[in-house]
Structure 1
Amino acid sequence: MKLGTSLYGRFLIALALALLAVVAVVVVVLHRQEAMRDDVLVLGRQSMHALAFDRMAERSEAATVQVASDLVNPLYYFDLDEIGVLLRAVLKQPDVVYAVVFDNDGAVIHDGSRDIRSYGQVMDDPMAFEVITARGPHIQVSEDLLDVAVPLYIGDVRLGGLRLGYSLAAVAADEQRAAAGMDERLSATGRRHAGWIMAAMVGLLLLAIGLGVLVQRGLVRPVRRLADATRAIEAGDFAAPLPDTGRRDEVGDLTRAFGRMRESILRQDRDMRRMAYTDALTGLANRLAFREELDRRLMELHGAGRQLALLFADIDDFKRVNDTLGHDAGDEVLVQFASRIRETVDRLGGERSLLARFGGDEFVILVESFSGGQGGIRDDAAHLAETLVAELGRPIVIDGRQVFLGTSIGITVFPDDAAGATMLLKNGDIAMYQAKVAGKNCHRFYSRAMDQAVERRVRMEQDLRGAWERGELSLAYQPIYRLEDRRLVGAEALLRWHHPEYGAVAPSVFIDVAEQSGLIETIGPQVLRAACMDAVEWRSDFPGNDLFVSVNVSPRQLRSGDLAIQVEQVLAQTGLPADGLHIELTETAVIGDEQRVSGLLARLRDAGIKVWLDDFGTGFSGLSHLRRVPVDGVKIDRSFIADVLRDPDDLALTTAIIAMAHSLGITVVAEGVEKEGQYDVLRERGCDLAQGYWLGYPMNGHDFRGLLA
């Protein structure tokens, strides 16, 4: 019997064929396993690289945008110290190589170093051109560096930009380690299963087939699932399911390692999102989170016939808290304000309201119509704003001291005022600014006329710069008389502006612009010097008339802390005796900072300079200031003098002020004397000095010299 025809032969042939088939299958499986291992390694490396780089890019961009929003105000005021503090804080973060603030020409303003070693140097590296010309967040990548640049805007004006460099070395090292670990684990798994497959070659075909099934189910399928999960994680789906982690082999180890990596990335993502979308001080949403939510809401509301309102709330005179009580106290004020705003918004703002802190002392509230009243969103927003003004007007206790602050609120409505987020934010800011112009501690709705008012105010601020040097600003003098014998004893210096295009500009308008813009800190000393020089000439040209000149000092000049030094220098330069100068302060200028102001005024009085409290009786505390603030005189506000002849209450108040001041040894000056009867009544009540149209209008220096002659 031939071997080929025997059952044994057939068996052997069948077995040989089976073995050949098993060998062929094994060869194919081994080849497929090797190719699959390479595919998994390539895919894993690509996924890890893309995931790590994209997350770092997103984190870097979000962090840079956040830092850029904090840098806008310091860069606008060119506060290099504050810019340095922010940049050094950024440089302490891991992987940050450099942090640079630059102007629109690419010149370095600050590099985070103490001495700003690269100040003024123009950036000329290969990435600099795109950084300087970028109009939005811009990311560039080199082999070992991630460069993130964000332009800094205030309104529509580009101030410059922020540039942060992040090292990619750590990312590359992490990728290399992870790839090496994956390679090692996959290689170990491949070797182990290759041994199983080789052992199965001496077995039956079914065992080989079963082993193939086992390999397919035990290795290939979990790895593919792991790759699918990795791609899902790369796409941002951190809830993507992983293969069963109950296994105790290498695949299980690899799966659990991927699970731990996913949890780590998820925690980091939560932390980064919290940092990127939350205000660190108050815990509220920040500008970035608010803008994203506003964009989403606007997409929902377009064409839906529904409205929403934005309320911009800004703390009035908040800088005074930082200047007088320190930044820690300022932070405590912000935290208490945020708590009060949150409680009020939760109570009155409706379920879909959103509160955010935009930075500094500015809070923004989004509300949708919720009351169902006929007035709609405007009535809801107005009621919320009125409640906020009242709540935030209550005193705040800081370090055992009561601090009184107000809030100015601007309101803009979608879609009445604008259809896009950018214009809504701009309009809300304009409305808030108009609330401050209207006297603060109030709210105003946006109107298109406000745009023109803002443009006029910006143009006026621009025109006011250098107006003194161009000879547009001048001094007028209103005579001050002694009531006892109607003798001219001095004059109040009043600033006047004759604009070359608009003519005479009301002092109430341009002085407020100078105060808000900070120009008063430049104009004030110039006014003081000019008034003292004129007073010296009066005394020199008209011997025997020891006239004094009184000069008004703004609250901003008072807060600067340099007033006493400026006054002493001006007196020394002009030669005017100290008793020839009277300094006038408004009562509201000293409220909330009486301890520091008292020391400043005591220094002036010790030098022989008289200090008068202007607009007396119109402030928050009235006569109580006479006990705590050292002054030589008070000027009764013209609102009391106007009705002194026909209103018994005003007459009684005026008489009480005169008596109270005299009991403390304080001189009393009456403003706004426009009738002879007013003059007679004040003289009978013992008032010391007076000024007003009945006694003399404000006049230029030449006319005042004629009056003296």
Structure 2
Amino acid sequence: MNLRYGLQAKFLAMMGLALLVVLALMTLLWVRQARMQRAVEEVSRDAMTDMVDSALHRRGEGVVAQLAESLSNPLYYFDLDAIGELGRATLRQPGIGYLIVYDVEGNVLHDGTEEIPSYGKRMDDAMAYEVIAARALHTQSDQRVMDISAPIMIGNQRLGGVRVGFDLLEVQRYQDGAVADLRTRLSELGRRQLLWVGLLSLGLVGLGGLMLVLIQRSLVRPIRQLADSARAIEEGQFDTSMPVSHRHDEVGDLMRAFGRMGQSVARHDREIRRMAYTDALTGLSNRLAFRETLDQRLLELRGAGRQLALLFADIDDFKRVNDTLGHDAGDEVLLQFSNRISDTVQRLGGGDAKLARFGGDEFVILVQAGQGQGGDVRQTASRLAEALVEELGQPILVHDRQVFLGTSIGVTMFPEDASGALSLMKNGDIAMYQAKVAGKNCYRFYSRVMDQAAERRMHLEQELRGAWERGELSLAYQPVYRLSDGVMVGAEALLRWLHPEHGQVAPSVFIDVAEQSGLIETLGPQVLRAACGDAARWPTRAGGPPLFVSVNVSPRQLRSGDLPLVVSACLRDSGLPADRLHVELTETAVIGDEAHASTLLTKLRTMGVKVWLDDFGTGFSGLSHLRRVPVDGVKIDRSFVADVLRDPDDLALTTAIIAMAHSLGITVVAEGVEQEGQYAILRERGCDLAQGYWLGHPVAIDEFLALLG
């Protein structure tokens, strides 16, 4: 009995000790489990915070950068509808709270809504100052929102900017919900573990160890893998391999979701890079991609004694296509041009040639000799430029119409012309401009003399602006005589520029500058109005016909389409009868689009205004225009009149022009008559009118009135 009592006591003691041990183990396990749960929560929260913050930041910058690029053209043309469509498409993306497109002053241009209630208001929120001042992609945030902004650029010009707000509270709610869900499931897992420990106390240690292993493998390791992947994405390694899981639980779902998110981020990164480096219309490399390629090539060639050539090709008179046929036709022309250029470059440019579209109607080609290859790069560039001029000069069929454009190409060489990318690109632009000055549809190599010419031309353009208002520009009138009886019948109005420092500037110089810069669109109507006003005050001579005044109209004025309205306004304001105004256009001005020119000239003739073709015989089609373009007279170019006494061919051609024009009922005017013999032979061949230094020099209005007196 005492023995049993002693064994019982020992047993109880042992049981009590075992119970204490179990309780201690359970307590220790509970403590350990609680710590593990907190550690897992912290690791999970940190990993999710890093992942979500990185992903949101990357996504936000990508969205804003892409949006800023997409908004450049709509903002440049102030197309609020296009801006609104892009804004509403962005606002529909999840997690975006607001969008604001603003100008350089910080005034709101669009907020993505239909009504745009904030239009024109200045941004005055706490983040607005940094947004307006930022000159690059800029991110700032507070507890509620992450604000990402970017300037909207067109070339080097800043048009404004765009800012997008991403809702951080939504992200925080998502993160808190995920952590709470993880905490709940960890707690449930702990309760099951303690239940098994209570039922199987003898296997407590083993079960505890097993649970630690399970937790390590099922939670800590996957979360660590996710954290490693998140850090790789944060460092910009978007194509890093994502952890793969075949588990069908929450952790498996989390890992698969993270994998899909990583693939989406990588896909968007590739798409953004493609959009950033590719021209959307033609699929060619854009300016950014070409510049990186050029910098790399120059780095490789520097000091290697090898050459490189840049060809800048600009479509001649491309604006006329957009103005007359529409922008869809312009895009079709650009596509056909890019295909022709690509084919020619592949055929003649060599394997290392690089073609890019810089925007608008400008294409750039890089040509160099490959590693270990011989050949003269300058000769290759010349052959390529010649082939491009010939190929691009062929007619293009657009909307069932043939369009003749051509191209002007400037060529610059490395290292002869410059050693840096910026200087090479500037030189190529200068050479291309000189090709246009030389008559277009040709190519020119850069020379240092072109820098001086470009600088002089720019200075002349600046001084020409406002010259009319300063009284430096004036009209001179050269008499036009009837050959049959020598009676003056009218005069041609000629623009003259008396520069305060350089004196008289040759019209061939400043008229070309005005034409190329677009100033002619302002000067042309001013000249027309002044000439009509002067002619309206000319006295009527007894027994003589009313004198007409002829005014030259530039190709730009013809292409603008509002010439009839300008002429009508000038006639109305001056009181000059329409039949006393003769409008002169060069033959080349109507070659490109005869249908458009014919429509405008028909409107002028309906008003009673006479239409003459100036410099006739120097165009590409010659007499064929007389059948298709409604004109009242032609002016034989002075180059034929100058040699009419010495060159039988010029005499025969002049005679043919007179006969052909008369057969069509068209008046013939000879310009540049400087000898009595020229006057006599022209009268003998039946020419109607003539002008030139032998008959009378261009004189100011006062001297011309004296001739009439």
Normalised to the residue count of structure 1, the TM-score between the two structures is 0.88
Kept in 1: contact 2:107–2:120 (CA 8 A): yes
Note the 1:112-511 alignment, pairs <5 A.
129-130=129-130, 133-136=133-136, 138=138, 141=141, 143-144=144-145, 146-150=147-151, 152=153, 158=157, 160-169=158-167, 173=170, 176-177=173-174, 180-181=177-178, 183-185=180-182, 187-188=184-185, 191-192=188-189, 195-196=192-193, 199=196, 202=200, 203=203, 205-370=205-370, 376-511=376-511
Query: For 1:465-614, what aligned pairs fall within 5 Å after superposition?
Result: 465-540=465-540, 544-614=544-614
Instruction: State the shift of 1:305 in Å.
Output: 4.5
Question: How much has 1:99 moved relative to structure 2?
Answer: 1.5
Residue identity matched to 2:580: G
In the TM superposition, residue 20 of structure 1 has moved relative to its aligned partner by 5.0
After superposing the two structures, state which structure 1 stretch, 425-434 or 498-507, moved more. Answer: 425-434
**Which residue pairs with 1:97 in the alignment?**
99
Q: What is the RMSD of the two structures over their aligned residues, measured on CA atoms?
A: 3.4
Cα-to-partner distance string for 1:209-230 (whole Å, 9 max, x where unaligned): 2332232223221221111012
Matches within 5 A, 1:29-44: 29-44=33-48
CA apart distance, 1:595: 2.0
Moved more, 606-615 or 291-300: 291-300
Distance 1:386 1:549, change over 3 A: same
Please tell me whether Structure 1 or Structure 2 has the larger radius of gyration of its CA atoms. 2
Contact 1:45 1:179 in 2 (8 A): no
Is residue 56 of structure 1 aligned with residue 60 of structure 2? yes
Q: Distance in 1 between matches of 2:67 and 2:550?
A: 52
Three-state SS of the structure 2 residue aligned to 1:538 is coil
Aligned position for 1:67: 71
CA distance in 2 between counterparts of 1:424 and 1:642 reads: 44
Q: CA deviation at 1:620?
A: 2.5
Contact 2:661 2:667 in 1 (8 A): yes
Relative to 1, partners in 2 of residues 1:422 and 1:606: Cα closer, same or farther, differing over 3 Å? Answer: same
Letter in 2 for 1:321: V
Contact 1:612 1:631 in 2 (8 A): yes
For residues 571 and 109 of structure 1, the distance between their equivalents in structure 2, rounded to whole angstroms, comes to: 42
Superposed displacement of residue 151, structure 1: 6.4
Shift of the 357–173 alpha-carbon distance from structure 1 to 2, 3 Å rule, reads farther
3-state SS of 1:92 partner: helix
Residues 366-402 of structure 1: per-residue CA shift (max 9 Å, x gap): 3333497876433333322222222211111011111
* Counterpart Cα distance in 2 of 1:346 and 1:186: 63
Q: Distance in 1 between matches of 2:115 and 2:465?
A: 30
More deviation, 211-220/571-580: 211-220
5+ residue gaps, structure 2, are 92-97
Distance across 2 between alignment mates of 1:216 and 1:177? 25
* Aligned residues of 1:549 and 1:580 also touching (Cα < 8 A): yes
1:480 Cα deviation after fit: 1.5
Report the Cα offset of residue 663 of structure 1. Answer: 0.9
Counterpart secondary structure, 2:314: strand
Question: Structure 2 CA distance, aligned partners of 1:498 and 1:120?
Answer: 46
Deviation at 1:6, TM superposition (A): 9.8
Structure 2 Cα separation of the partners of residues 471 and 292 of structure 1: 50
Deviation at 1:332, TM superposition (A): 0.9
* Structure 2 letter corresponding to 1:671: E
Please, which moves more after superposition, 37-46 or 327-336?
Answer: 37-46
- Provide the rounded CA distance (Å) in 1 between the counterparts of 2:676 and 2:112: 66
Structure 1 distance, partners of 2:316, 2:206, is 85
Post-superposition shift, 1:551? 0.2
Structure 1 distance, partners of 2:589, 2:583, is 13
- 2:653 aligns to what? 653
Q: Distance in 2 between matches of 1:115 and 1:594?
A: 45
SS of residue paired to 2:538: helix
What secondary structure is seen at the aligned counterpart in 2 of 1:461?
helix
Q: CA, structure 1 residues 39+113, in 2 after alignment: closer, same or farther (shift >3 Å)? A: closer
**Corresponding residue for 2:708?**
708
The verdict on how the C-alpha distance between 1:114 and 1:242 changes in structure 2, with shifts beyond 3 A counting, is: closer
User: Aligned equivalents of 2:283 and 2:484: distance in 1?
Assistant: 63
- 8 Å CA contact 2:54–2:234 kept in 1: the answer is yes
CA distance in 2, matches of 1:372, 1:672: 59
Q: 1:8 deviation in Å?
A: 12
Mapped to 1, the partners of 2:422 and 2:399 lie a distance apart of 40
Deviation, structure 1 residue 478: 1.8
CA contact (8 A) 2:37 2:186 kept: no
Q: Contact (CA 8 Å) 1:314, 1:407: kept in 2 or not? A: yes
TM-score (norm 2): 0.88
Deviation at 1:40, TM superposition (A): 1.6
Judge conservation of contact 2:571–2:577 (CA < 8 Å) in 1. yes
Offset at 1:468?
0.9
C-alpha offsets along residues 453-485 of structure 1, whole Å, 9 cap, x if unaligned?
A: 333222222211221111100111222222222
CA, structure 1 residues 6+128, in 2 after alignment: closer, same or farther (shift >3 Å)?
closer
CA separation of 1:251 and 1:428: change in aligned 2, threshold 3 A:
same
Cα shift at 1:609:
1.1
| Separation (CA, whole Å) in 1 of partners of 2:291 and 2:444 | 22
| In 1, Cα distance between equivalents of 2:118 and 2:539 | 54
Distance in 2 between the 1:524 and 1:11 partners?
Answer: 115
Q: Which moved more, 1:92-101 or 1:629-638?
A: 92-101
Aligned counterpart for 2:28 among listed residues 20, 24, 49: 24
Residue type of the alignment partner of 1:24? L
Distance 2:533 2:70 in 1: 51
1:364/1:451 CA distance change after superposition, 3 Å: same
In terms of mean alpha carbon deviation, does 180-189 or 568-577 score higher?
A: 180-189
Q: Structure 1 248/597 Cα, relative in aligned 2: closer, same or farther at 3 Å? A: same
Larger mean CA deviation between 363-372 and 615-624 belongs to 363-372
Residue type of the partner of 1:88?
G
Contact 2:60 2:148 in 1 (8 A): no
Report the 3-state secondary structure (helix = DSSP H, G, I; strand = E; otherwise coil) of the residue aligned with 1:94: helix
Name structure 1 gaps, 5 residues minimum.
none
Describe the shift of the 1:303–1:373 C-alpha distance in structure 2 as closer, same or farther (beyond 3 A): closer
Post-superposition CA distance 1:146-186 (Å, at most 9, x none): 3524265666xx5x5311121213x6535643663465256
* Aligned residue in 1 for 2:95: none
CA gap of 1:465–1:353, structure 2 versus 1, over 3 A, is same
Provide the identity percentage: 58
Per the TM alignment, residue 23 of structure 1 is displaced from its structure 2 partner at its CA by 5.8
